[in-house]
Structure 1
């Protein structure tokens, strides 16, 4: 495909109107929708004008960072550019120095930080500890943060990352909360599994209370202003918090009337956390991201809550641009494989993405701002999210296999007791990776959602273990037993020998004397003591007990055969499900988009091969391809040109900008493209025939330099020019 550099300086090549932008040069307000968003603590700048629907303005602190503005002034800069504005701040940490230093109520509160056994306070920044959220701090949040935000006219509030570190729990503030909650004096968590469990249940409760108090107040205060305030929790996945040894309310919040939804904070930084498979611990970014997004989707779907999926083109830790690109593609593909979610936080912190300095290669100390090829690719990707459709299609593979999760996964992670360890959350990954690595799209099921009928939709086989979690409510066993009775197949893996089996909880007190919580479940399923390994019928369903902890399947090489073969046998016996399919890839069609990921560490090392007429959306040149090969360990994101229903109607198929003011007439097509300054746009436009004239101008009518080419086989025009947040005006005539 030949490209020609155009300077469009000769009037003979243009019809007169080409060089004139529309009469109304004011930036049009973005549609009143909230499909895409980003978060920023800074005012609008031309270099970070991301053009998502929503700008989530971070922190109420005046003169934040380098911006010499009040919070309200920062918000207004985004509104002036047509954005819907929301608000975000941390709830476990934030710029709340006036609370800790006594400016708010005349008393110092630095004793309300999270403290480790060594007496060290866990800090998030200068004079900002991770917080033990006392009722006094909650009142501060209401008065100083939430009221001000609502008074500024913002009707959507995000309080992010309600986090209590598992290694904390030794501060005076925590000891006071312990006495109030349990009615007896604090006990050091390192002394017993019982104390650890009690400590983490309290941490869980404290942030459950904090979120409920703050959001209930926000809704009530909003009503006094005639506003319907919506409240969201941006949070890491239960998979990640459990692996990183952090306690948070997670799934329980989805049942609160004051919680309208979540942001699933999944990105390279969370998904690159190593896990074990086939005896080897290493990063498995795609697979981990797939499970993280899945845990967030399954946490919210049964309750009908909204969830935004987040990706980040970089991450918190400084690395090189090639590393960022590779792992961004992996997490981006993983999120798109959930076709029932179509709302996205397209990036956090655009300032650090567009203006930060990062290494040019892994073995170099040289740093530079985001390369043009990467910013172009990133903008192509995020602009697809503005149009990404929901879909009833399912990711390829055998469906119906679920893995049970509980918030109590976070309770047993630190410290270890009696020599029992669960390295890198292997009792969870031991149920997931042996199937996921064989191309089976397993889903997660939250025990906290067991009472909701939607939880059990499309679940034919459920694997579970109490080696790494415990059921917080006995009622969940009734729902599991009813599901089995109606035809479900339950596979229980566990020796039930970890020290948390004997902590004082409902299964061994108040008249119950079960040695392990599984015994209550087994009894409800009609099993008899001593509950040995085997296969049992219950109603129309089955129960299979494997007396191994799931970590044993993956901590040693080639040790998952019994588990995998058991699942396959059960699946194959279910005539409705068909035969369990093993493969090395996942693929999904969402409208015109094709998402593909090929896994490695699989016996099948062949590439995935697809033929058709595609635009490669991971390539900043957005070339037209007749075929695509995806190698093991890689992903692909394609636009299927042949899926366009009206090929004679002009349409932008792919672009590194957001498109406004499209106009089509008998032999012409015009549009306005907007994207951040100092970035390069590429566009591929479907036309009924090759354009005879192309005019590209800025908002003042100045003719711009550009590149152009025509691909006859796909009937698409390629354009490239420098982006401008004020708009680049494109007119084509044929």
Structure 2
């Protein structure tokens, strides 16, 4: 029989186990016991004072609990009432809001417009926000979501910026494709310039105060912004010396955007998330910028707890399938996750987060604290890439000459047919082609100008050089969209190409009418179809997949291109698995145990785990635990501190948000004779425990506390 008792040990402050900056969360709240997430970093959102608390006091509330503190604020919107209303400089600035064709301002919230980042706003961000934050001792600043809506571009502020940038009067974007393209390029530039100026100011002002200020950009992926019809600087920021990294804002809300495949339009959350994370990682990899990968246990729109749980598992798995990254924003807004009610499945009643879900979520979040970088590659055949570029955002709105790209299908037509067959297709950013390693491991590159255009002729020079050295290029596109003839480099300054692909084909020395041609040591295929046809039509992907297979096996001579319904990878003691539906078959993927199922709040030890199509799994493989002779917590809905190991005993302190339940599985050299869980007031509470002899693990459960729960085990 295992004896249990319960003690809570209070401590007003503590020092984190390490000064690592591996996990983070963002919050606009001061510290409260219900949201004490136990990550390394608390990213304090917004520099404004509250009714009963200054900004500095909010920051201090987290520091006193042992957190490293960062700062985040919107660069396109925010609680900047003092600026908008004129309190800051005596002038009303609501006129810089982004405006649609009908004259309506696009609002992010009450008295919070999306802004045209002109000079006074940039000055306010520097002097009214960044300076205050640095003066408060914060050296890590996150400038969130530089977003300009594609449907905007009609305000007087934007018209003035147009005149300055182009040197001629504003032109309404709805009147021609060229006007749309020019409008999008300006939107892109305005936020590139705003980020550049504000980040350079932050670095310089910090240096004056003896601080090494780091600046990060939390942003949606290029995939999502293009899909949602938003323009943002994206990849260009990665090469700015004043930008130190990104947060990849991928979550259920972005990834549940419906896509077409096999003629069916529906949500494909896992696949979409995998492509979104991939585009963010490939964007930053050549520049060696740090990147945090975000997931959210809920989302912005009200759903039910069952929906949140299912899609959280899908997006969480997708990010873990990129083993080269191990830094995470574990959640945004813990205050809304832990303290706001949402619906139960198939019910109109709303409740706070169910205990089973908060326990599971905290187990998953805590796993991120120890998730290692791994040199292992995700399963499937590597070496197939899809070209993408920032100009994907330029053609999304409005529609011209009847040319449609429903659900951004010209992108998904190049990626989903491969991903659905277990090929971990990589995205390649044309902005990164000048970096030597960008195409280093790519054997076959798929590209199209149906949904984007090259920003410079150098793009084609890099592609042509790569093909001539042995690369295989598959170009897909009818080149009949209305943006082919916009006034750009391929038809100005002595160039007279009717479409940008003509310039590429000229450098390659191929005839555009030829379906295939050898070029140097490489090969080129030209498919005169828009990629959207591969996914919007039932069975439309078959010819495309067959061509990629031929290019990979026969032309690139890169080996056999095999297919599967599964993506999986091992990272230290963790196994990450996703099995896709609409794939090669309905067979499950089986992981042999003993394994601990980290998506199950009961933390069962399983002899094997069968993962079925349309589901995912995160498993802890007991046989791969490092130092198995050492007592240690393997999985827990808490974070463990102050571990002490002696002959015959193991002691530690567990901390996690209040009003949640901790379930943990502890590896021990022998069955425990006594397990003591004690409270500071000396009271004894039940802490159910059970021993699994096969895995030599103790399952222990008790109520969490941010003040610390002391556990002592003897054997």
Q: TM-score range by the shorter chain?
A: over 0.9
What does 1:357-396 align with in structure 2 at a 5 Å threshold? 357-361=341-345, 363-396=346-379
Alignment of 1:285-434 (within 5 A): 285-361=269-345, 363-434=346-417
Q: Residues 90-109 of structure 1 correspond to what in structure 2 (within 5 A)?
A: 90-109=74-93
1:473 aligns with 2:460: no
Aligned to 1:555: 536
**1:278 Cα deviation (Å)?**
0.5
The 5 Å alignment of 1:121-200 reads: 121-200=105-184
- Which residue, 644, 655, 660 being the options, matches 2:625? 644
Which secondary structure does the structure 2 equivalent of 1:195 belong to?
helix
Bigger shift: residues 666-675 or 449-458: 449-458
Instruction: Look up the match of 1:250.
Output: 234
Secondary structure, counterpart of 2:688 in structure 1: strand
Secondary structure class of the residue paired with 1:501: helix
Q: Distance in 2 between matches of 1:603 and 1:462?
A: 23
Offset of 1:525 from its aligned partner? 1.0
The alignment status of 1:628 with 2:609, answered yes or no, reads yes
Write the distance in 2 (CA, Å) between the matches of 1:438 and 1:247. Answer: 31
CA deviations on 1:504-557 (whole Å, 9 max, x unpaired) are 0100000001111111111111113xx114111112111111111100111110
Shift of residue 29, structure 1, vs aligned partner: 3.5
Quote how far apart the aligned CAs of 1:476 are. Answer: 1.4
Give the match's secondary structure for 1:184. coil
Alignment of 1:651-670 (within 5 A): 651-670=632-651
**Could you say what secondary structure the match of 2:382 adopts?**
coil
Is residue 201 of structure 2 the alignment partner of residue 217 of structure 1? Answer: yes
**1:646 Cα deviation after fit:** 2.3
Q: Matched residues in 2 for 1:58 and 1:398: separation? A: 41
Q: 1:710 to 1:523 in 2, by over 3 A?
A: same
Retained in 2: the 8 A contact 1:30–1:84?
Answer: no
In structure 1, which of residues 668, 690, 706 is the aligned counterpart of residue 671 of structure 2? 690
Q: How much is the aligned-residue C-alpha RMSD, in angstroms?
A: 1.4
Instruction: Select the residue among 579, 587, 594 that pairs with 2:560.
Output: 579
Please list every run of 5 or more consecutive structure 1 residues that lacks an aligned counterpart in the other structure.
10-18
- Aligned-partner SS, 1:116: coil
Relative to structure 1, the CA distance from residue 221 to residue 113 in structure 2 (aligned partners, 3 Å threshold; closer, same or farther) is: same
Counterpart Cα distance in 2 of 1:442 and 1:254: 22
Distance (whole Å) between structure 2 residues aligned to residue 76 and residue 375 of structure 1: 26
What is the rounded CA distance, in whole Å, between the counterparts of 1:53 and 1:501 in structure 2? 49
1:84 aligns with 2:65: no
Report the CA distance between 1:20 and its aligned residue: 9.8
Q: Which SS does the other structure have where 2:82 is aligned?
A: helix
What residue is the counterpart of 2:268 in the other structure? 284
Cross-structure match for 1:16:
none
Distance in 1 (CA, whole Å) between partners of 2:438 and 2:622 is 36
Taking structure 2 as the reference length, the TM-score comes to 0.98
- Counterpart in the other structure of 2:572: 591
Rounded to whole Å, the distance in 1 between the matches of 2:13 and 2:673 is 30
CA distance in 2 between partners of 1:8 and 1:492 (Å):
68
Distance 1:701 1:542 in 2: 76
In structure 1, what is the Cα distance between the partners aligned to 2:506 and 2:313?
47
Q: Give the equivalent residue in structure 1 for 2:18.
A: 31
Deviations 1:479-505 (A, max 9, x none): 111111111111000010000000001
State whether structure 2 residue 471 is matched by structure 1 residue 459: no
1:251-294: CA deviation from partner (whole Å, max 9, x where unpaired): 00001001101000000000000010011110000000000000
Residue range with higher mean Cα deviation, 571-580 or 221-230: 571-580
Give the Cα separation in 2 of the matches to 1:32 and 1:76: 17
Count of aligned residue pairs for this structure pair: 715
**Counterparts of 1:212 and 1:411 in 2: how far apart (Å)?**
21
- Structure 2: any 5+ residue segments left out of the alignment? none
SS in structure 1 opposite 2:108? strand
Q: Is the 8 A contact 2:472 2:556 kept in 1?
A: no
Aligned pair partner of 2:190 in 206, 214, 218: 206
Q: Distance in 2 between matches of 1:723 and 1:172?
A: 55
Alpha-carbon distance in structure 2 between the residues aligned to 1:25 and 1:427: 56
Task: Go from structure 1 to structure 2 and tell me whether the alpha carbon gap of 1:329 and 1:440 turns closer, same or farther (over 3 Å shift).
Answer: same
1:237 to 215, 221, 239: 221
